[in-house]
């Protein structure tokens, strides 16, 4: 669990760190939309090259991102199995009873895996190089037009930033509780499914209690500091697009053009 990178911020001085958080949020959103169109090997290759180049610009070790994918390994495996066994078509590669493994099923499973991995990596890049407070400010700025519809944009942005910050904290807390339980002789990896499920109960109870206590402490701290309305609070850091942000938008536009060219022309 300590390898989960989404929600964590690692300080740095790279080009990606210095970008406006709105630029990174828009870029991540556009990338996710493009991945919904990807349906050929060439489009995934172009997307992978773009993600790899962006990772290099963050000046963070590649191993950090690879380790961040390990916690979702079983989710990826489950998704791949579903795609392989429940996608029809021809030719049939393996036929065992009611189970059929087809070539379209295998290809579709690989596409889903690549799409999932690339989206996770791009999202990790965004959270890894952007403080949660900056993400909240950026979302509030991007969603400002919704204020005319009486949407509580400031409160929504605040809740999202708190949630993003709580994810790594809860993961670290879970790891500490597991280590404490193991030191007392508890085992989470032995026995059958029922025994393993029962072993999780001593883990969940202190985790929920700790999460509630942390939430209460945060609420008290906000109240003591006079927090009442997120709408009319001033900002210490004023968001402003710079030269590198326009260069990033140009790179994103170039990537989109190449992506659609590969998708429809090749």
Any idea what DSSP says for residue 218? H
- Residue 212's H or E segment, with its range, is helix 193-224
Give, for all 266 residues of the chain, the pLDDT tens digit. 555 566 678 888 899 999 999 999 999 999 999 998 888 889 999 999 999 999 999 988 888 888 777 777 778 888 888 877 777 667 777 767 667 778 787 888 888 889 989 998 998 898 889 887 788 888 888 888 887 888 888 778 778 777 777 777 777 788 788 888 778 777 766 666 677 767 777 778 888 888 888 888 888 888 887 776 665 666 667 788 899 999 999 999 999 999 999 888 76
Check if the beta carbon of residue 20 is closer than 8 Å to that of residue 242: yes
Q: What is the pLDDT of residue 32?
A: 93
Q: Is the peptide bond before 91 cis (omega within 30 degrees of 0)?
A: yes
Q: Give dist(CA 260, CA 266) in Å, integer.
A: 10
Q: How is the chain split into domains, by residue range? A: 21-265
């Amino acid at each position: 669990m300590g390898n989960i990178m989404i929600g964590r911020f690692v300080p740095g001085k790279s080009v990606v760190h210095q970008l406006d958080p709105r630029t990174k949020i828009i870029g991540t959103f556009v990338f996710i939309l493009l991945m919904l169109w990807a349906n050929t090997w060439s489009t995934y290759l172009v997307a992978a090259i773009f993600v790899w180049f962006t990772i290099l610009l963050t000046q963070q070790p590649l191993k950090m991102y690879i380790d961040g994918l390990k916690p979702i390994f079983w989710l990826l495996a489950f998704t791949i199995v579903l795609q392989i066994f429940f996608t029809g078509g021809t030719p049939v590669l393996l036929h065992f009873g009611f189970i059929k493994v087809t070539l379209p099923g295998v290809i579709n499973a690989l596409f889903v895996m690549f799409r999932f991995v690339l989206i996770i990596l791009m999202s990790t890049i965004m959270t890894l190089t952007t403080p949660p407070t900056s993400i909240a400010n950026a979302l509030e700025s991007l969603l400002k037009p919704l204020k005319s519809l009486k949407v509580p944009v400031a409160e929504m942005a605040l809740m999202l930033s708190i949630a993003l910050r709580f994810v790594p904290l809860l993961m670290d807390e879970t790891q500490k509780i597991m280590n404490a339980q193991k030191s007392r002789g508890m085992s989470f990896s032995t026995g059958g499914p029922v025994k393993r499920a029962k072993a999780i109960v001593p883990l969940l109870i202190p985790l929920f209690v700790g999460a509630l206590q942390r939430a209460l402490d945060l609420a008290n701290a906000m109240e003591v500091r006079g927090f009442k309305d997120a709408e009319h609070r001033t900002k210490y850091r004023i968001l402003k697009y710079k030269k590198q942000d326009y260069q990033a938008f140009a790179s994103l536009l170039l990537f989109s053009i190449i992506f659609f060219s590969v998708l429809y022309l090749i």
